[in-house]
Chain A
Amino acid sequence: MTSLLVILVLVLLSVALWQLTKIFDLTQVGKKGEESLVADDNDNKVNGYLSFAFLAFIYLITIYCFAYYGKFPLMSNSASVHGKEVDQLMWVSMILIFIVQTITQALLFYFSYKYRGRKGQVATYFSDNNKLEFIWSSIPAIVLAVLIFFGLFTWNDIMFINEKVEKPIVIEIYAQQFKWTARYSGADNVLGKANVRLIEGVNTLGVDLSDPNAQDDIVTDELHLPKGKKVIFKIRSQDVLHSMYMPHFRAQMNCVPGMVTQFAFIPSMTTEEMRETPEMIEKVANINKIREENSIALVAEGKTALDPYTFDFLLLCNKICGASHYNMQMKVVVDTPEDYKKWLAGKTSLVKSVKEEQAAKDAEKNPVIKDTTAVKVDTTLVAAASMK
């Protein structure tokens, strides 16, 4: 509907424009022998006014976007401690560029309108002014220096982590086409060594099971974080570049095969708390309204309706990684520290899962065709057999 409206408006606008110029052309008949294809006073007049109108358009689209889309930007309600600082800096920068934008566009299009060419009008021969040049080189320089200063301050705060002093909880984020996995470092808070060459069976992360540090590592496909504790993510990828993006935490870091990258933050809101913020309640209600409307259409076509949505933090892939890049996500849950401990205690360690798998396979003793994805378990057997 909106699109139809926009098309209609634009078509009418261009028709009106066309007609306007035609009318102006007609008023010119008889005045000049031949129509010139260089702008004349009438063109200058029409386009001068249109410049002014265009300025109005820029302002209107800005106001429209703020009114209708102003709620989208993630500039408040961050779920991490450093997120507040990021948001603050974002606000300052945004207000600043908004002011500059408003003024410069006004000058640009106002001048286009004000000084539109007229016969007999003579332009001012004004080619240089060192004072002006100095002013508008130094003002941006000073403003940018301030922004750089605060930006770098925050950046250092976020990026440089002293693990020995801060003792953050170490969690590995493991990326592969098109799936995320998390590995918790367990009681010792040290991740066992890992390499893709050790991938085998349930050990899909290639953890070195002989490493003492690996003995209590826990692998999960949902990410749980405790509120108020610093968490450091050690990030790996097994195939191509991915990017670990958690917008609500203002957190992002690429996952690079062959190296371990890291990012750390302190979650400041549990999932429950986030769901209950007024902004989120409104957003979810709006999304559910849209989903209901869409469902009606789907049901009419004989398809299944969409599930209602409840908010969850997400980890999404934000670096093009292959055909299904658009659906590579993991649910992130922020718990209270107690709930977090309980959840983690309920998980089996990787070493135990590997042993169980091996036992099960030993009992079965059926050589099977190697297939890596669907029947991962079988490769272990083959490998175990060949090792004997």
Chain B
Amino acid sequence: MSHAHDNHAIDHHDDHHEHHHKDTFITKYIFSIDHKMIAKQYLLTGIFMGIIGVGMSLLFRLQLAWPEQSFKVFSFFLGERMAPGGVMTNEAYLSLITIHGTIMVFFVLTAALSGTFSNLLIPLQLGARDMASGLLNMISYWLFFLSSVIMVWSLFVESGPASAGWTIYPPLSALPQAISGSGMGMTLWLVSMAIFIAASLLGSLNYIVTVINLRTKGMSLTRMPLTIWAFFITAVIGVISFPVLLSAALLLIMDRSFGTSFFLSDIYLAGEVLNYQGGSPVLFEHLFWFLGHPEVYIILLPALGITSEVIATNSRKPIFGYRAMIMSILAIAFLSTIVWGHHMFISGMNPFLGSVFTFTTLLIAIPSAVKAFNYITTLWKGNLQLNPAMLFSIGLVSTFITGGLTGIILGDSTLDINVHDTYFVVAHFHLVMGISALYGMFAGIYHWFPKMFGRMLNKTLGYVHFWVTAVCAYGVFFPMHFIGMAGLPRRYYENTNFPLFDDLQDVNVLITTFAIVGGVFQLVFLYNFFSSIFYGKRTVQNPWRSNTLEWTAPIEHMHGNWPGEIPEVHRWPYDYSKPGHDEDFVPQNVPMKPGEEELHH
């Protein structure tokens, strides 16, 4: 089936002389249609949004550890309106958690993670000159940029940013009378997200088309690196589920602005009966989580894809169970669209649905378990090169297991009753998708930094960054399970109104301490990242001695990626330490030796 793509490869061969045309600053750095530049744009925007998102979490962690204390940082960052006298208000707290969730889930872990690495790696690892449509790719980035700007702008509106939680359940998110953040702030949130979804869809379609059509000669589907499989399937899930969120957002906009009643009914608020009749907030929950749950995998799969690649390369060993990995990606993708109801066991939907969703949810644990076991087996009898990227990948497997296991509790409708919406949930999803995906992103950055910027990141700083982050991540989220199981609800501004929870305050202080230390040490990464862009040591073409095609491209970036012909692929990407070869890696473009056996991976 790979032969169908030969034509494309040939088509592009003749193009490469056009690279000599002059780029202006604007076409090269701003409105670039080159996938490598767009990847960098995504990364930088993502890092910027990540700083905001993580910064916010540190602010509300301070409030949680030392409730209603006056802090100079609050006065500085929140101002008099949100923190009069340096004491964070309850509405400011809700705004912070809402925007923290939104930014981290959508802007950092969806857009920046998959935007950066899908853009960078899909053409490079497939042997394509660029994405299928450079123009759409550029539009996708700039729509994402626009949505980021609107989201950040919403922080500064008079009535405060959205503050109904990142899940924006109506009626709270629909009625400004219910909470002031549901005024202008919420409108901007919805507009921003609508644009974001458009950006995401354009990006995803582009990824899908590129993977299907632009693979180089010999790059059959079962010779694709697992990164590409992950990005490809992620894009498919995105195309299936993001439109549903868009429709939910549109209906919510109508309820808010045009008096419709899709999600609202029988409401008496601020002394009057509102005119809504016949809608149901539960419908919104269904629509939201129909995206919301696949979204978890949209975040996680690219991280797992990156990890697969990084672990194989640095173990100097083929990834264990290549086909099983693909099968589990496909199984996860399919199951992810039929498990959303586990967020709604106690939403008031029919309990029978709860049974069904418990079943599908626990099913999804099986492919996830397979992936985890395969990673561990890949390490077994390897020759592990413990580069920072490798450490982050191992860290990912660790947090993925720790966080995934508690999913067995939450996915069980019976057990969910008592831990639903407590800190147990917060601990679970932060470990399994938040921290894991962040580790995946860091692994990707450390691994492909040389490819992106032609220079190396400092490894010692990388090690410090990893170990402190790893310790702090567990330090933050491990104790959190315990206060959650004590019945402590999430999204509480403070717990001082409940003497019952007084004995949990120490734990909150401990968590905040770890969070602050972990947060501060991200500065090590930022310093390493930005200084290495300019002053890092220059890299060699294939620093990690990796098999995939991106390392056959020259260090110097150019339109079309390869001078001359596109490399042809002769083997799968995981021929590490293959007996019969002199080196411990055999790039994909190296032809098979006579008599060399291609495994049925």
Residues of A within 8 A of B (CB): 2-3, 6-7, 10-11, 13-14, 17-18, 21-22, 25, 37-39, 43-44, 46-48, 50-51, 54, 57-58, 61-62, 65, 69-70, 72-75, 85-86, 89-90, 93-94, 96-97, 100-101, 104-105, 107-109, 111-112, 115-118, 121-129, 132-133, 136-137, 140-141, 144, 147-148, 151-152, 154-156, 158-160, 176-177, 195-197, 199, 206, 235, 238-241, 243, 245, 247-248, 250-254, 256-259, 261, 283, 286-287, 290-291, 294, 306-307, 309, 311, 314, 316-327, 329, 371-373
Contact = CB atoms under 8 A, between A and B. Distances in A.
A14 B355 contact: no
B418 A241 contact: no
A280 B502 CA distance: 14
A178 to B, nearest CB: 11
Given A39-B386, A199-B273, 14 more contacts: A6-B514, A21-B463, A37-B459, A37-B543, A97-B409, A127-B574, A151-B358, A151-B412, A154-B414, A177-B269, A240-B175, A317-B489, A326-B90, A326-B497
Contacts of A129: 320-321
Contact of A326 (B164, B374, B398, B494): B494
Contacts of A61: 474-475, 478-479
A133 B470 contact: no
Contact of B405 (A7, A101, A316): A101
A127 B322 contact: yes
Contacts of A126: 317-318, 320, 377, 380-381
B316 interface: yes
B384 A44 contact: yes
5 contacts: A72-B507, A125-B578, A141-B366, A155-B358, A259-B265
A117 B383 contact: yes
A14 B456 contact: no
A65 B479 contact: yes
A155 B351 contact: yes
Given A17-B463, A47-B463, A94 B409 contact: yes
B266 interface: yes
A72 B599 CA distance: 53
A47 B386 contact: yes
B480 to A, nearest CB: 10
A316 B594 CA distance: 72
A160 B354 CA distance: 12
Given A112-B386, A127-B574, A323-B179, A10 B322 contact: no
Contacts of A317: 489
Contact of B355 (A6, A54, A152, A258): A152
B590 to A, nearest CB: 16
Given A152-B358, A326-B494, A147 B412 contact: yes
Contact of B347 (A47, A239, A254): A254
A50 B171 contact: no
B383 A118 contact: yes
A257 B322 contact: no
Interface string B159-186: 0000011000111100100111000000
Contacts of B481: 65
Interface in B466-483: 467-468, 470-472, 474-475, 478-479, 481-483
A144 B175 CA distance: 42
A367 B325 CA distance: 75
A122 B281 contact: no
Contact of B483 (A69, A86, A311, A327): A69
Contacts of A10: 468, 471-472, 517
Contact of B491 (A44, A108, A245, A320): A320
B404 to A, nearest CB: 9
B436 interface: no
Given A3-B512, A74-B485, A140-B369, A128 B394 contact: no
A251 B345 CA distance: 12
Contacts of B494: 326
Given A38-B387, A147-B412, A372-B270, A6 B517 contact: yes
B373 interface: yes
A180 to B, nearest CB: 14
Contacts of B513: 2-3, 6-7
A355 to B, nearest CB: 23
Contact of A321 (B172, B318, B369, B500): B172
Interface string B122-165: 00000000000000000000000000000000000000000011
Given A43-B463, A152-B355, A327-B497, A144 B408 contact: yes
A123 B354 contact: no
B322 A93 contact: no
A167 B502 CA distance: 39
A13 to B, nearest CB: 7
B499 A155 contact: no
Interface string B513-524: 110010001000
B17 interface: no
Contact of A257 (B266, B314, B324, B377): B266
- Of A37, A50, A107, A316, chain B has the most CB atoms within 10 Å of the CB of A37
A359 to B, nearest CB: 24
Contacts of A294: 502
A239 B482 CA distance: 32
Nearest to B491: A320
B379 A73 contact: no
A92 to B, nearest CB: 10
A210 B320 CA distance: 72
B362 A48 contact: no
A38 B459 contact: yes
Contacts of A122: 316, 383, 577, 584
